[in-house]
Structure 1
């Protein structure tokens, strides 16, 4: 009996979703060619070199509750590179730092009265017990937080953080947003002390991405860097290939893992309401300063900033859960500002951003000295997190639009889960299974 020829699938985009999807499809027996426009795979989970060491461009963590990431690490033979350790967080408000690591810290938090603390606990419990997220879709995040936690907690705690996260505007944000974050944050807490647990892969998320890339190659697939796809070629409403460097390379299916606003340019001549929805999808970007210091800046993994005079969203010191020995002995501090791309900060030069960020960091931490800095980098990304307004989940792009052999797999489809390694790899596994059903 003749064996059935192996089906060829083009995967466009080499971020974490694209590489994960290519891995799962390769493992299912398809011949996969992954096309990536840049010179490295990983996307936002990629690395940069500081001297002789690679470090994450942006901050990432693996929680003890991230069971899919841990199982995938085991599957790829890299589970021995997983590390977890307890860590802590704090709030910066009105020029002062307030620990928020233990239950005792929470009970002593001076910005809230006893009743406010009780209602904040009720807010977290309400989120944890809520199961049907669609019922939260028509409620604004402000309405829901005030309903459970009260106006004072909203004013002192939630409002400044929401303004910082959403570049000043969160009026039409659904309550689903805070529900998903409270659920994930709670999953970092363990034991009577309720200390946070955070983890990482030695080498960063790219350790997993590179392990998947090796598995793709071993299965007969390819990863082509510096190879932007110009067009997904469609004939008689069916994908027949992808155009690269002016030449059509045949394939029997194509999976686009790019962000929705970037997809229509690959489909010239294809029209329809679903294409217009892709073009108009709103996104948050980020401007992020990375400092590699010769000593720790604080005692905390994450400092949430409720002081609206500070331009960056938070202070994330990843080397409170990453062993500095695994990143060249540096202490890594990330200072992100989430922006819409119309924000003035998105257009300022690297030197202007770095000057402003260091000025505020010095004000927050008077003991800090610029001489501690061994490397400083400013990173920008226009497409980081899709924005969801109330009811917008109904416009999520379909996995299989009305073109035979075309599939879309992107961050909007993980909603209401958060954009992290756990949700992205889990979604890629699910999408690979659905694609197999369509192609069977």
Structure 2
């Protein structure tokens, strides 16, 4: 009986460690997810796990998106190749339901600590790379050079870690040493986001996290003023000190101005052209979309006609869902995302603020990257969302333990 009791705790123990793995290559994350699924299988109590999933506030919107994607797969056009991989990407939120099946518990607090520890390790790797001390092995490839979506995701994760830690300052006991250590940790993680990470998306999310915490701290007591000042210093550092951020933002504004005047944007600003051509694809079938996996061949055809580059995704989840599943698909996606924000609003602040940060980070990230189309983005978000959403039921106040 004691073995059975310990076995039932395995999924929670594994899930508490997964946030630490998010800062490493996707293969390591997949390995952790497989270990979690195996532990879930061995834990038993399948009826209880099913009920926890079914009663969770995210169950209905996630199932709605799954059913709609299945209907689109049956009714709409399928591309000659790449259909099944595209279809699988639309099921990413099913992993969230599996993570939520473990229910609430002490693992949630451990998971946040695990994520913070991973952020400290990731920041250290970026510092080592800046000092040319990082070993040149594949494990650290996303830190040593720009490695596509993984490098972008590392920056986003660090920005989220800063937000979580800033939020925690308002809850700390009146212990100056603990408060000082927390502030130093925030600065240690924030500096790589500002100066070393190679992503504009992370910089924008960083600004958003600081703004959220700053607005939260508009209560004029000593600790809140301190947090507000830390947030203000972070924002000032972004605007004044980081030449990397200023260069990125200036380039973005220049691309917008050039494209609005009919000129070609830079390679960094090519997303503007992708968005414009994707809206033409959407306009052909706005209600139903063209079918799952059809964006890439349709865009490639349009790119050949316009003598421009072809891409694998439109770097925008809103446009991707609208192009492939129409208004109905986009509505299903927004139902999920708005539900996350609504649940965050209903939760006690200690649990609701991290969920609000995650929800907004996904929605902002989805404007500039296909965060659900690529598991490098999608799986980490599902793991992190499970922490505050575990135990959030439809029929009771959404409290995440």
TM-score using structure 2 length: 0.26
- Kindly name which structure, 1 or 2, has the bigger radius of gyration based on alpha carbons: 1
Answer 1 or 2: which has greater helix percent.
2
Answer 1 or 2: which has greater strand percent.
1
TM-score using structure 1 length: 0.24
